[in-house]
Structure formats: C-alpha cells, structure tokens
Amino acid sequence: MELSDTALSQIANCLRSTECQVRLLSLELTSLASVSPAGLLRFVRDVAPTDLVFRMLRGCTPEHFGPELCRFLVSRRFFSVSELVDEQSNDVALSLDDAILNELSASTFQIAVHSSITVDGLRSFVKAFANGTKTLVAASIKTNFPLQGISFPLDGKVKIHIEDEKTINISSIATPQAIL
C-alpha cells in the first residue's frame, strides 16, 4: 500500500470506528514521499499508540520529523527512530533538541538518527536519570559529536556504555531491592 494522507486517514478512521487501542505502531520499509508532514502528525496523534517505531523510511523531509512530532515521540512509553532518508538517500535528522529531550517521559527509546541534542543536553539528561528526576529502563542515543572524553554524572543506578564513537547506551541497574 502506498502511504498517503488519504491512506493514513482511512487507517486512523478504521481504528477509531472499532474503538481499537493501538499498542505498537510501526512504520517500516516504506516511503513518506506522498505523506505531508501535517498528515503524518495527524495520523500518529489520531492513532495514539503506546509505542511507536519509525524505521527504514525513505522520502522523508526534516518537516516530517519536526518539533511537534518529536514532542509526540518523547511522550510515548517506547519509541525507536532509525534510518530516515530523503528521496536522494541522504540522512534526515530529527528536530529533537535538548528542550524536547528534557520533556521525555518514555522509559525505553532509541534515537539512531541525527538530532540537535548537545553535549550539555545529554549530560543534563543523564544527570536527571541518575538523580531520579527521570525514570528510564534503557536508551540508545546517536549523537552528532564524539563521546570519547565526555564525563557523565553517575551513581549506582546508571549504567553507561559507549557503543561506538557517537552512540551512547544508558540503562538502569537493578538493585537487590528492586528484584525482590
């Protein structure tokens, strides 16, 4: 099925008419070339999935993944975004910056595309997780900057693994009390 504003609207209407609650919405291996940014945003808001995945999408524009869609993403329980390209196969970034990262309520997420997150924003996010302000199970964030040599505030609840030069994995460490 070719994705378009009309097709997405019909899918959303069908789900609403059956009063279906969507746990996972996964858009993968397709094109957004015929979908407007407003149509994509309207669709995900109408469907309101608990978990949301965008993977291996072509025909993307920066407007498809603008601040409003990013705010919606970070409000999901789980989200994953990877491999977004335009019509010429150039990478497309998320409009996810430090302010939007600070709004995050997801407990598990993956950002495997470029974003506007800075070193200070990432440090602040890890600090909020370490001091208990944010709750997190696991996260993977691809950055636009090298991670080597950057220090992060840690305590006994946070595990950080630098996967490669620009990807950081963050997770919680189960305590004996949490296991009981």
So where are the chain's domains? 54-179
* pLDDT score of 178 more than 90: no
Cα(6)–Cα(149) distance, integer angstroms: 49
Q: What is the mean pLDDT of the chain?
A: 93
Per-residue model confidence (pLDDT) at position 156: 74
Other CB atoms within a 10 A radius of the CB of residue 140 amount to: 18
* pLDDT, tens only, 138-149: 999 999 999 999
- Provide the residue type at 129 as one letter: F
Q: What is the pLDDT of residues 32-48, one digit of tens each?
A: 999 999 999 999 999 99
The pLDDT tens digits of the residues spanning 65-115 come to 999 999 999 999 999 999 999 999 999 999 999 999 999 999 999 999 999
For tokens 């099925």, name the residue: 1
3-state secondary structure of 144: coil
**Dihedral (CA of 146, 148, 149, 151) sign:** positive
Decide: pTM greater than 0.75: yes
